[in-house]
Structure 1
Amino acid sequence: MKRSLSYLHKGLAPSQIGLLTLLVLTLLGGLRSEAQITQPLPARSSEGVLRKAFVGEARTAALVPTVLRLPELRTAELPKLDTHKGKGFRTYQFALERPLDADAHSFGEYLVDGAGNYVWRAELIATGAKNVSLCLSRFALPEGGRLFITGAEGDQIGALTSQNNAPDSLLQLRPLEGDYLRLEYDFPMGYTPERGELPFQIQALFHGFRSWRAEPDFAHPGEPFYDYTINGYNGLTEIACIPNVLAYPSRWKETRSVVQLMVGGSRISSGVLINTTRSDGTPYVLTSGHCVNQLFALKGDLLKVKKEAATTVFFFNFQTPQREGNIRATEEQSLSGAELIAYNEDSDMALLRIVGLPASRKIPEAYQPYFAGWSIEAQPRAPFFGIHHPLGSTKRYSEAADRTLSLEDYCLGLLCDPSWEGKHWMVHRWKIGSTAAGSSGSPLFDGEGRVIGALTGGSSNCSSPTEDAYWAIKEAWRKDPTKGSLTALQPWLDPSGTGQETCAGYDPIAPKVIQRISHLYPDPNTPSQGGNRPNYIYKPTTSTEELGSVFTLPESRTVRVLGAYVVFKSNKDLARTQLPQLRVALSPFRGDGELTTPLFEFASTNVGKFSAHEEQGNKYVLRSRTLRQDSIEVFFPAPATPTLTLPEGQYILSCGNKEGGAMRLPVLMHQGGPIDSHGWSAWTRKVGEAWQRSADVSNGAYWIDLLIETSTPAKTGRNVSTQDALIHAYYHDRQLHIKADLALYKSVDVRIYSMLGEEVLRARYSFNQDHLTLPLSLPSGQYVATVVPTRTSTSEVPSRKVAFSFILP
Structure 2
Amino acid sequence: MKRLTLLIPLLIIFSHVSSQIDRGGIPRSFGTKSFYKSDSIILVASPDMNMIKSEDEADANMEKPYRVGVPVSISLNTSNSGIWMDYPGGGKLWRLHLRSPGAVALGVDYSNFYLPVSSDLFIYNPDHSQIAGAYTSFNNTNGHSFATRPLAGDELILEYYQPEGCKEEPSIIVSGLNYIYRGMDVGLDKNGYNFGASGPCEVNIHCSEGDNWLAQSHGVVRMLTRVNGQSIWCTGSLLNNTHLDFSPIVLTANHCSINAGNIASSEDLEKWIFYFNYEATGCDKPLSEPGIQSMTGAEKLASSQNPVTMGSDFYLVKLKQDIPVTYNPYFNGWKVTDVASPSGVGIHHPEGDIKKISTYTQPIVSGKWESTDETHWKVNWSATTHGYGVTEGGSSGSPLFNSEGLLIGSLTGGESACSNAGGTDYYGKISYSWASNGTADSMQLRPWLDPLNLGRTLLRGMSRTVQFEANVEQVPIGGAVDFRDLTASSVYDWKWQFEGGEPSESSDKNPSGIVYNSFGRYKVSLRVSYLLDTDSLVDSLTRTDYIQVSALVYPNPTKGALSVFTNVKNSETVKIEVFTPLGVLVKSQSWSGDEGPLVSIDLPTAGNLFIVRIDRAGAVQTEKVIVLRP
TM value normalised by structure 1 = 0.37
Which has more radius of gyration? 1
Q: Between Structure 1 and Structure 2, which shows a larger proportion of strand residues?
A: 2
